[in-house]
Structure 1
């Protein structure tokens, strides 16, 4: 991606300008960010997705001032009628199920893949919404169909309403108001309060969301992978204390056990690139609902294209794909990085690949992580 090229998606800003001026700093409203936008997923398809077991979906309703929340899957008859006001159907991860929505998500790769999450689609009847709230992550709100009125504000009081199944702000104080038409888009940084309400019904909004792992989440995931690697080593030393004297204070933890635990952690951290490897595997781990269809074994590779559900990244020493890590160097590392960045390789690219790289790519195709294709 040319990060110095102005994009209609960003209102004529270059990706560099957007990241410098707006990312995690201030909102941006873009009229006709996607001119003549034709939604790739219509209402009937969204409802069909919400009926599937492996798709995360929610139904938010408001009746007589009270909020209600239900989780899917939803049978078609379990949804309210289109004429009933104040309800919203939210379907997560639609980019995993629709190639055109996946392609839309790729337009936002001026943000690192490690931060890019998914596309959620919301469908709302007249006056439908999820209440004034804030997100802990950045979000682009692209209007796909109908109209939605957004009120936004830098909210200092983040207290929530009690007894509500949603995180609805108790005292929302909007500062600006916009009505978005199809093709319009609003960017909001984290913790920027917003309230979107459908006007006239038949309203569809695409939310492009981003990952923002907490320090605790990263620590948990990395340490869990350290523990798995230690278990894979086979027999590891057990704590032993042949010189332990008789305990006058039996509840006190022995100093030797403290030292043993500290040494175990230091050993895990001392492994070459252990932390880098654990982080890359975590960031590319597919979501629990993701599954791959095995490809045909032994297919001749003319070109390779990543499956839209595959997550592939790299660092200075490794390439990572779907929770797996591989050491890579030289020409093969350059090739794999190109695959991660461009999500495809041509026959000309493959002509320069080593036998080991071709074997690995063929294995990924067998697993359904990638697919052979002809130009």
Structure 2
């Protein structure tokens, strides 16, 4: 599905991370990509993150999946919402919903969460720390949007849900199938189903916190520091007061830390691996047996292509001389020539058909075999 007449530059300039925006159906032809029964089926599977939120009076309850199939038939007329994370990892048609929003860099994309709500169902007024496009897939939902919140905003007492204790809407819209509501980080919002069979696709984006970055980068450095890399002062001179920590010593100590923390190349490679790590590390997408070079060459000779795993995270960082680092599912690969050209393609497209000349490029074949054996890409037709 394609979108029509959406001014990306205007959106990024005036709305992105600044204020909410209602976008009425801008698709050439909207079609809901997932049936409610299929979503419920995913919520019954091991390894799929799902939640069931129910409201009765002023009480909210949260249950985690997987759920027994008969659970949904017992909910009756309750106000309830089923939420399933990372549905794009399992349903290619849902993964395709991300494509129109790739004006935001891939490394910022998190996943597509899908919700199904009975009449008057919702998850309560709340705010998120990330950008989200709320795409109405089926039925209708009334969205109310409030002011920007922060860590000082009062929350209801609840062990599992972060619901606002006070919520006053400043805008309100009813979304029909194909409509989109963009909500920047921190803005209060509350969505309630208007009628049954209400499905919403939440296309979310990641924003690492400062504490995550500092903690992750420092842990990475600590794992690689040598025990005998210690302070040294071979030019030591006697000082008037032995109790003083001299400015020269402080400068040398701080330099020991700064030299490692400010390693730009090391940070770039660490962040690429960290950011591309799988959302669900326990998921195993590897094929039953490793691919052989002969199989790869035969596939290419027949004009075959390569498919990116929707659950995989790909990005790259350019280096001097036309080479680059490709990051895929927490691993990094140094690429040049045909391998670098492929890396740029597979980061931008979910299906790449390499030229037949790549069949004789050892570096390219080694890269592709490694990606296939990790389950990050697959031969089309498999």
Q: Deviations over 1:177-210 (max 9, x none)?
A: 1111111111111111111101112111110000
Aligned to 1:41: 34
Mapping for residues 1-375 of structure 1, pairs under 5 Å: 9=3, 12-34=5-27, 36-79=29-72, 81=74, 83-155=76-148, 159-164=153-158, 165-230=160-225, 236-237=227-228, 265-266=257-258, 268-269=260-261, 273-287=265-279, 288-294=281-287, 296-298=290-292, 299-300=295-296, 301-302=299-300, 303-317=305-319, 318-348=325-355, 351=358, 354-373=361-380
Once residues 184 and 240 of structure 1 are traced to their aligned partners in structure 2, the CA distance between those partners, rounded to angstroms, is 61
> Is the 8 Å Cα contact of residues 83 and 125 (structure 1) preserved in structure 2?
no
Distance 1:42 1:267, change over 3 A: same
TM-score, scaled relative to structure 2: 0.83
Q: Deviations over 1:129-148 (max 9, x none)?
A: 01111111111111111111
TM-score, scaled relative to structure 1: 0.84
Once residues 354 and 343 of structure 1 are traced to their aligned partners in structure 2, the CA distance between those partners, rounded to angstroms, is 22
Q: Deviations over 1:331-357 (max 9, x none)?
A: 532332122122333232763883212
Q: Deviations over 1:109-128 (max 9, x none)?
A: 11001111110001111110
CA RMSD of aligned residues (A): 3.1
- Further displaced range: 26-35 or 174-183: 26-35
Distance 1:327 1:265, change over 3 A: farther
Q: Displacement, 1:12?
A: 2.1
Q: Displacement, 1:34?
A: 3.3
> Is the 8 Å Cα contact of residues 55 and 289 (structure 1) preserved in structure 2?
no
Q: Deviations over 1:260-308 (max 9, x none)?
A: 9867644544667111111100110012243213255212242222211
SS at 1:154 equivalent: strand
- Further displaced range: 66-75 or 92-101: 66-75
SS at 1:186 equivalent: strand
Once residues 344 and 224 of structure 2 are traced to their aligned partners in structure 1, the CA distance between those partners, rounded to angstroms, is 25
Distance 1:75 1:259, change over 3 A: farther
Uncovered stretches (5+) of structure 2, i.e. residues with no partner: 233-244, 320-324
Q: Deviations over 1:125-173 (max 9, x none)?
A: 1110011111111111111111111111224586233323421112211
> Is the 8 Å Cα contact of residues 6 and 26 (structure 2) preserved in structure 1?
no
> Is the 8 Å Cα contact of residues 156 and 164 (structure 2) preserved in structure 1?
no
Distance 1:123 1:26, change over 3 A: same
Once residues 360 and 111 of structure 2 are traced to their aligned partners in structure 1, the CA distance between those partners, rounded to angstroms, is 32
Once residues 17 and 272 of structure 1 are traced to their aligned partners in structure 2, the CA distance between those partners, rounded to angstroms, is 33
Q: Displacement, 1:372?
A: 1.9
Once residues 100 and 44 of structure 1 are traced to their aligned partners in structure 2, the CA distance between those partners, rounded to angstroms, is 15
Q: Displacement, 1:74?
A: 1.3
> Is the 8 Å Cα contact of residues 222 and 282 (structure 1) preserved in structure 2?
no
Aligned to 1:250: none
Distance 1:87 1:272, change over 3 A: closer
> Is the 8 Å Cα contact of residues 117 and 211 (structure 1) preserved in structure 2?
yes
Q: Displacement, 1:368?
A: 1.8
Q: Displacement, 1:367?
A: 2.5
Distance 1:293 1:332, change over 3 A: closer
Once residues 134 and 189 of structure 1 are traced to their aligned partners in structure 2, the CA distance between those partners, rounded to angstroms, is 9
Once residues 194 and 177 of structure 1 are traced to their aligned partners in structure 2, the CA distance between those partners, rounded to angstroms, is 10
Q: Displacement, 1:217?
A: 0.6
Once residues 124 and 55 of structure 1 are traced to their aligned partners in structure 2, the CA distance between those partners, rounded to angstroms, is 18
Once residues 33 and 226 of structure 1 are traced to their aligned partners in structure 2, the CA distance between those partners, rounded to angstroms, is 47
Aligned to 1:248: none
